[in-house]
Chain A
Amino acid sequence: MTTRQQKSVLSRYSHLAEGLVWLIFILLAAAYTFDFDDPLPVYDWGPAHWPRVVLLGMFIATCWLLFYESRRRKGNDINEKDQSPGIDLTMSMRARMILIFALPVLYATAIHKLGFLLVTPFFLFVYMWVVGVTKLRTLIIMTAGIYAAIVLVFIKLIFTYLPPGAGVFNTINGHFLRILQ
């Protein structure tokens, strides 16, 4: 089976996977509603009523999705024209795609532990490089410029409270903040 044929088969059954994910989600959420099913003296239907109605609606919408998508795809492959031609991704492209998602999550974790002021210039530099700025001079100038603008607006002008970091980094950020102010 060629890659294209494999993609075609995957596309044909993707709605089943999508529906299954929704059904599992609905089931788990519905099970969770029993955790807060206590009666309320002022409201007979209790706190679980509204989420359960919403989940029932989601169940109906998921069944609808599965029914129509199954009929649409029944008995044949999806039209060739529906499929994008597909791009052959190189290893570096794949790495960049992963970093585009992973770096912001790492950044959020890092500012919590190391502090906003210490981490942000590195994040700006690396993310710009990942999304396509390759000249070192441009990277340095733009990182410095954006960082200076952020410091000017948020620290010098409006004294915004920014993540201070934890432990020793909290102290370092504090010193850094005093220098910048």
Chain B
Amino acid sequence: MEDFLIGTAQLFTDPTGILIFVVGLIAGLVFGAVPGLSLLTLGAVLLPFTAYLSSTHAIMLYGVIYVSGVYGGAVTAILFNIPGSVENAPTAFDGYPMTLQGHSGKAIGYAVTCSAFGGTLAAIAMMAFTGPVADFALRNFGPVEIFALVFFGLAVVAGIGTKSLSKGWLSLLVGLLIGAIGSDPVGGIPRFNFGTLYLHGGVHFVPLILGFFAVAEVFVQGLKLAKGDYAAPKVSVSYPTFMEFWKMKFVVVRSALIGFFCGILPGIGATLAAFMSYNEAVRWSKNRDNFGKGEPEGVVAPETANNAATGAAMIPLLALGLPGGALTAMMIGVFNLHDMDVGPLIMIEAHDLVWVLFASMFWASLAILLVGVVEAKGIVNLLRIPFPILAPTILVFATIGAFALRGNILDVYTMFIAGVVGFLMRKGDYSIPALVMGVILGQIGEDTFSRSMVLLDYNVFALFTTPISGVLVSAGLITILMNIIRHRELFGSYYAEYKDENA
């Protein structure tokens, strides 16, 4: 507590520190919220300039933009179906349908409040439990357990976003196959790259996500407009009531815990957190069938979790020098620019700096609530722009976003191909959430599965021999079985109804 107060005092008694805090907060929100820009763009743009700042200011700036940028990406996911970053993708699954139903204000309200809540809780937990939690996660979560976690996630997600279980599984498996494009994680042997260098490194998430969400959405709405049955989304600035928030208490606490725990796992961090918490929200919800169609829990869960993961991601970063994602990797670059090495000694060698970082992330999470509400009230009005004007703007911004990633025109083509595939899949009642989850979790899944099999001497059943992986794999198998039974029941009732009608 004393360290936190000293960190807070250092932060708010230094005019330059306050200025950097405010600039970082606003820049993160804006870059996260503008389609085509992202948190990573901001991080990359700022990186060279941090050499002119003190080490404390530079690291604090990245902590603040990390917190505010992760929330900022939810705004575009909700309003335009364009996730600001990969960890905001599950927010779009239900956030955008809420916008189409005229509940954009509520969706943004849930996102702001839950992002702030998740971030604040994680910041507190980060300060209190950094040591023991990092120790537990790093001792008990090896490739076997991470694979089990991914398997469980995949089992749950196959039932989301479509009435047909077979189509849900097909969507998920196509995602896994897309994730296998590039080179295999063990030997680096090229796979499905059709002899091109472009595909050697795999298909990048960003053009895929822009295509599946933004471009496909423009196509869907554009066709409706051409046919004359387009209905503009209603603009709503009404926020959720206290009682509506109160109903979400279990979702919020569960997602904060998932977010914090996933955030600790190096290399996967906030993305896994957002997707896993969405899966769990589906699994535990009474409104399970409403997911993918505008269920508020589908916004609350990923937004709480991805912000909770920002605090947790600092644990492996600071304790072991392992980044949880691209932005935390940039933070290592910032440390290096200031002749510092992240690792166990950082807590001793740069004790004050670490506590200023913790304090700034805590206050940034709270500040989101204030700044985010003001920003959201204004940005919701973007929905008043007529679709014919919005459509080409979205396409151009998405093109910039896809190209700016690596300066490769093939990413733009990939995005438009993904847009057409996404459009066709939506028309055929396939599940875009399952497809995206397949791509993202598939790469982690294959990597950890290969390493697990080497460790377990190629015995798949040995996955049940460690307690954590045993529980997770069993839960995954039970979920698959339950989904099949549920699907058969649905089919049975439909078939009976159909026979009655035709008798």
Measuring CB to CB, which residues of chain A are less than 8 angstroms from any residue of chain B? 18, 22, 29, 32-33, 36, 38, 40, 42-45, 47-48, 50-51, 54-55, 57-58, 61-62, 64-65, 68, 71-72, 76, 79, 87, 89, 93, 96-97, 100-101, 104-105, 107-108, 111-112, 116, 120, 123-124, 127-128, 131-133, 142, 146, 150, 153-154, 158, 160-163
Contact = CB atoms under 8 A, between A and B. Distances in A.
Among B228, B450, B454, B458, the most chain A Cβ lie within 10 Å of the Cβ of B450
Contact of B399 (A48, A111, A158): A111
A50 B416 contact: no
Interface stretch (B62-70, B215-223, B297-305): B215-223
A64 B491 CA distance: 12
Contacts of A162: 400, 403-404
Contacts of B391: 127-128, 131
Main secondary structure of the interface of A (DSSP, over half): helix
Contacts of B498: 72, 79
A62 B170 contact: yes
- Secondary structure at the B interface, as helix, strand, loop or mixed, is helix
Contacts of A120: 396
B455 to A, nearest CB: 12
B20 interface: no
18 contacts: A29-B192, A40-B184, A43-B187, A50-B449, A57-B173, A57-B176, A61-B173, A68-B166, A72-B494, A101-B219, A104-B416, A107-B395, A120-B396, A124-B392, A124-B396, A128-B392, A131-B392, A154-B36
A112 B393 contact: no
Contacts of A72: 491, 494-495, 498
Interface of B: 34, 36-37, 41, 45, 164-167, 169-170, 173-174, 176-177, 180, 183-184, 186-187, 189-192, 215, 218-219, 222-223, 225-229, 386-389, 391-393, 395-397, 399-400, 403-404, 407, 409, 412-413, 416, 419-420, 428, 446, 449-450, 453-454, 458, 491, 494-495, 498, 501-502
Contact of A65 (B167, B458, B502): B167
Contacts of B413: 108
A178 B70 CA distance: 34
A127 B393 CA distance: 10
